[in-house]
Amino acid sequence: MTKSKSAYSTPTKIGKLDTHIFVVWVDNEAGVLARVVGLFSGRGYNIESLAVAEVDQTKKISRITIVTTGTPQVIDQIKLQLKKLVPVHKVADFKREDKKVIFKEMALLKIVSQQKKIDKCLNACKNYSPIILDKTKKSVVIQITALRREIDKMNKKLKPLGLVSTSRTGAIAMTRGAEVFN
């Protein structure tokens, strides 16, 4: 019998962690983001990325997309706890592997380099619908939309070619096909 000096039990082993994307429809009112984010920090859940904006101006509804990791039990809890918040209308959660759902992130990449290398960068980005937002002789700002890991990859790849600054959104999600989440 080992000696336990704690007033609490010892932690049991943690199960397999899954990555999930939560989509939360909320009333766009003061403090609502703090409630959602506070729920995560207060209960020790993890936030990988967060994207939020109003999607319905007349009804004042915002859509929050949160990428998080946790055991199935924790994911379940996050969903149920979110649903308890008064300004929350509905909650959807998807596994990252879910084929029925599109996940996208946008990134703005600033490259300061010679023309040759800039061209190389543009070429490297060609699979991620690159748009040139600004261009000078020595620099370029490229917008790409891709998955998180693809942007991670580009980040690494473009560094030696003159990438000096990256700005990226959190992931946002939409179901495929005619179905709408209810």
Partner 1 sequence: MSKLYSGAEIVFKCLEDQDVKYIFGYPGGAVLPIYDELKNHETVKHILVRHEQGAGHAAEGYARSSGMPGVVLVTSGPGATNVVTALTDAYMDSVPLVCISGQVPTHLIGTDAFQECDTTGITRPCTKHNWLVKDVKDLSKIIHEAFRVATTGRPGPVLIDIPKDIQFAKTKYLRPKKIKKLNGKLTNKFSQKEIDELIDLISKAKKPVIYSGGGVINSGPKASESLRELVRLTGFPITSTLQGLGAFPGDDHQFLGMLGMHGTYEANNAMHDCDLLINIGARFDDRITGKIDEFSPNSKKVHIDIDPSSINKIIKVNLSIVGDVNEVIKATIKSISRKNKEINRSNKQNVSKWWEQIQKWREKNSLGFVNSDETIKPQHAVQRLYELTKNQDTYITTEVGQHQMWAAQHYKFNKPNRWMTSGGLGTMGYGLPAAVGVQIAHPKKLVIDIAGEASVLMTMQEMSTAVQYNLPIKIFILNNQYMGMVRQWQELLHEKNYSESYSEALPDFIKMAEAYGCKGIKAENPAELDEKIKEMINHDGPVIFDCQVDPSENCFPMIPSGKPHNQMILGPNDKQENKITGKGKALV
Cβ(108)–Cβ(168) below 8 Å: yes
Residue 3 in the binding site for partner 1 (CB under 8 A): yes
Residue 10 in the binding site for partner 1 (CB under 8 A): yes
Comparing CB distances to partner 1, the nearer of 10 and 58 is 10
Tell me the pairing of strands 88-95 and 18-27.
Answer: antiparallel
Cβ(69)–Cβ(19) below 8 Å: yes
Residue 181 in the binding site for partner 1 (CB under 8 A): no
Binding residues among 79-118 for partner 1 as defined by CB under 8 A? 80-81, 83-86, 88-89
Ramachandran assignment for 31, one of left (phi > 0), alpha (psi -120 to 50 degrees), beta (any other): left
Nearest distance from C-beta of residue 172 to partner 1, angstroms? 23
Residue 180 in the binding site for partner 1 (CB under 8 A): no
The residue count for binding partner 1 (CB under 8 A) is 27
Comparing CB distances to partner 1, the nearer of 32 and 106 is 32
DSSP-derived secondary structure for 50-78: EEEEEEETTTTEEEEEEEEEE-HHHHHHH
> Which residues contact partner 1 by CB under 8 A?
1, 3-10, 12, 30-31, 34-35, 38, 42, 73, 76-77, 80-81, 83-86, 88-89
